[in-house]
Amino acid sequence: MAAESVDADVVIVGSGAGGGTLARALARSGLRILILERGGYLPREWGNWDPQAVFGAHRYHTGEQWLDGEGRPFSPVTGYHVGGNTKFYGAAVLRRRPSDFRPRHHVDGSTPAWPFGYDELAPYYARAEEWYFAHGEAGRDPTEGPREAYPYPPLAHEEEIALVESVLQGMGLHPFPLPLALHFLEGDPEHSPCVRCPTCDGFPCLLHAKGDAEICGIQPALESPDVRLLTGQRVRKILLHADGQTVEGVETDSARYRARLVVLAAGAVNSAALLLASASEPFPEGLANRSGQVGRNYMCHLNSACMALKPHQENRAIFQKTLALNDFYEESGDPEYPYPLGHIQGLGKVTPSLLHAQRPRWPVPVSAWAASHSVDWWLTTEDLPDPDNRVTLDRSGRIHLNWHPKNRESHERLCRRWRSILHQAGFPAVFFQAMDISATAHQVGTCRFGEDPRTSVLDPSCRAHDLGNLYVVDASFMPSISAVNPSLTIMANALRVGGYIERQLGAS
Ligand SMILES: Cc1cc2nc3c(=O)[nH]c(=O)nc-3n(C[C@H](O)[C@H](O)[C@H](O)COP(=O)(O)OP(=O)(O)OC[C@H]3O[C@@H](n4cnc5c(N)ncnc54)[C@H](O)[C@@H]3O)c2cc1C
């Protein structure tokens, strides 16, 4: 398409981890970038830090309901704002392990190999860590790949967490500092934007001190005169060019935008939904869907929150999400169960008000006591791709999500193992709360990439096999999810894809 007849060289749909990072990556390329975001800026207000507003009333989540495989409505844990879901994320930014790029055998099946290995993504991980203020300590986690030092030192453990760390080490385990994307300046409290508050994990940051995609992607991108962001622009359809081989732009509720190249970054569920909603005669099953794979292979972590109580000792930690453990990441350690179990990391401190917001029926003194005596954790097991776990649309355009996670047994074993370790570590009471289908925070996989156009939607550069100028850079591209948090991989991949887009459009 001629450059002068378009609204932009590149239209990016969505401003989260993938879209926000890509916008910054392309900002100095000389290409004209237009970001279309369905939400607005997340308001800075006291509610950002109010557990009742965030977890009780779900003030910042979408009010829409999706339907599960049995047609039951549920409210997805997702929000539509500039910065996408990174506005709420716990800022845990782990690289995938080298083994995550290779097939891995699980109790319920195997993961597919990625088209490339850890080494290809490593330089992009490094740049994403720099952009997103990553704190961490290289060389502590035995499962990590080769890497240089983190841009920032790890956040120090508070007393209670340091104690847990030394007990775990005494048991022969290998806890390590959880890598975190926070604009925190150690030893410089006068100037540090991050104050290590208890309202981080799951909360928007009132101080704008979280390394999220608004602060670290969109904001720096908008410093370039070539980048524009339009909020309140929900893309409804991707427009196919008359040649049937390229797209010519997108349509929102109020306008059409033409571009030389379109990038989807609307999140794994919404990008798939958008492609399905963009069906036309040449693509009756959905745009870019000759493979029939669009919307399939939805994955989400098997997650449980865990509260470990020491009745006779208060936990005074304010910011406790500083420790992680991968001792059961590659395998369980039990010769009779030769499968991986998953990853364990600290959870943002469960405070009395937060617990009350989530468990309003508990008597206030009970939740207050439990929250002040607990150390809290987040356990993650890898899900597996299954074509029947998928996003579909009904006639009215509503999203249906069929999801029956794999590796449940491994997740239960991870919880049991962690409970017995915590018992030994002096926590006699340990409780778990498993997440259900509404916990869509770690959604991935609905437009997976690969070499074979029959089994994947995108090629290894994340360009649609079926269309020469349509890319996807959100979490959809992942053919396997791993057991670590997805954002850093989405950001690193967006940086990688930015290079392909620049080359394709002949950026200056
Ligand atoms: C409570 C919570 C905690 C989390 N903690 C962590 C963590 O600690 N570490 C980690 O790695 N990950 C974490 N995550 C997950 C992480 O936020 C996501 O993996 C990541 O944001 C996904 O990036 P994305 O680019 O795929 O989509 P998103 O970041 O969700 O961005 C998608 C964007 O597209 C916009 N959009 C959607 N549809 C349209 C449309 N039709 N038109 C225009 N715009 C559209 C959305 O509004 C949004 O801005 C957490 C998520 C949540 C909710």
Query: Which residue, 472, 153, 98, 168, is CA-closest to 344?
Result: 168
Are 29 and 53 in contact, with CB atoms under 8 Å apart? no
Pick the atom of ligand 1 nearest to 82's CA: 49
Question: Quick check: helix, strand or coil at residue 169?
Answer: helix
Are 340 and 483 in contact, with CB atoms under 8 Å apart? yes
Pick the atom of ligand 1 nearest to 440's CA: 53
pLDDT in the model for residue 3: 57
Query: Which residue, 171, 165, 425, 183, is CA-closest to 308?
Result: 425
Distance 441 CA to ligand 1 centre (A): 7
Distance 83 CA to ligand 1 centre (A): 8
Nearest-CA residue for atom 23 of ligand 1:
17
Cβ–Cβ contacts within 10 Å for residue 5, how many? 9
Provide the terminal-to-terminal Cα distance of the chain, rounded to the nearest Å: 18
Pick the atom of ligand 1 nearest to 474's CA: 26
Distance 417 CA to ligand 1 centre (A): 31
Q: At what angle do helices 118-131 and 487-505 cross, to 10 degrees?
A: 100
Of 85, 230, 473, 488, which is best to mutate to test ligand 1, by the most ligand atoms within 8 angstroms of its C-beta?
85
Distance 305 CA to ligand 1 centre (A): 20
Distance 19 CA to ligand 1 centre (A): 10
Nearest-CA residue for atom 1 of ligand 1:
202
HEC string of 198-238 equals CCCCCCCCCCCCECCHHHHHHHHHCCCCCEEEECCCCEEEE
Question: Residue 453 belongs to what domain range?
Answer: 3-43+53-505
Residue 485 resides in a domain: yes
306 φ, ψ (degrees, to nearest 5): -135, 135
Distance 15 CA to ligand 1 centre (A): 9
Which strand (E) or helix (H) includes residue 432?
A: strand 429-434
d(CA 258, CA 9): 8
* Long-range contacts formed by 503-508: CB under 8 A, 24+ apart: 504/261, 504/463, 504/469, 505/9, 505/10, 505/31, 505/260, 505/261, 507/26, 507/29, 507/30, 507/31, 508/29, 508/30
Nearest-CA residue for atom 47 of ligand 1:
80
Structure tokens at 464: 């649609």
Distance 367 CA to ligand 1 centre (A): 30
Pick the atom of ligand 1 nearest to 270's CA: 38
Are 449 and 457 in contact, with CB atoms under 8 Å apart? yes
Q: What is the CATH number of the domain that holds 492?
A: 3.50.50.60
Residue 48 resides in a domain: no
Nearest-CA residue for atom 50 of ligand 1:
89
Query: Which residue, 97, 141, 99, is CA-closest to 489?
Result: 97
Distance 360 CA to ligand 1 centre (A): 28
Q: At what angle do helices 487-505 and 17-26 cross, to 10 degrees?
A: 40
Residue 148 resides in a domain: yes
With the C-alpha atoms ordered 228, 273, 118, 413, is the resulting torsion angle positive or negative? positive
d(CA 10, CA 470): 10
Structure tokens at 206: 């009132």
Are 261 and 504 in contact, with CB atoms under 8 Å apart? yes
The stretches in the chain having pLDDT less than 70 are: 1-4, 508
Residue 281 resides in a domain: yes
Cα angle 96-98-103, degrees, rounded to a multiple of 5: 100
Task: Quote the strand ranges of 100-226, DSSP E.
Answer: 105-106, 109-110, 134-135, 176-177, 180-181
d(CA 176, CA 140): 6
pLDDT in the model for residue 358: 85
Of 86, 178, 472, which is best to mutate to test ligand 1, by the most ligand atoms within 8 angstroms of its C-beta?
86
Pick the atom of ligand 1 nearest to 473's CA: 25
pLDDT in the model for residue 1: 58
**Structural domain total, the chain:** 1
Residue 235 resides in a domain: yes
Cβ–Cβ contacts within 10 Å for residue 327, how many? 22
Which strand (E) or helix (H) includes residue 124?
A: helix 118-131
In this structure, the residues whose C-beta lies within 6 A of any atom of ligand 1 are 13-19, 36-39, 77, 80-81, 84-86, 88-93, 202, 234-235, 265-268, 270, 274, 441-442, 474-475, 485-488, 490
Nearest-CA residue for atom 22 of ligand 1:
17
Distance 34 CA to ligand 1 centre (A): 19
Distances (CA, A) of 352 to 22, 321, 355, 358, 369: 39, 17, 5, 10, 7
Distance 381 CA to ligand 1 centre (A): 20
User: What does DSSP say about strands 235-240 and 323-325: parallel, antiparallel, or unpaired?
Assistant: unpaired
With the C-alpha atoms ordered 217, 221, 227, 229, is the resulting torsion angle positive or negative? positive
b or e along 441-479 (b: 16 or more beta carbons within 10 Å of the residue's beta carbon)? bbbbbbbbbbeeeeebbbbbebbbbbbebbbbbbbbbbb
pLDDT tens for residues 124-161?
999 999 999 999 999 999 999 999 999 999 999 999 99
Of 487, 490, 497, which is best to mutate to test ligand 1, by the most ligand atoms within 8 angstroms of its C-beta?
487
d(CA 346, CA 438): 21
Are 184 and 319 in contact, with CB atoms under 8 Å apart? no
Residue 420 resides in a domain: yes
Residue 162 resides in a domain: yes
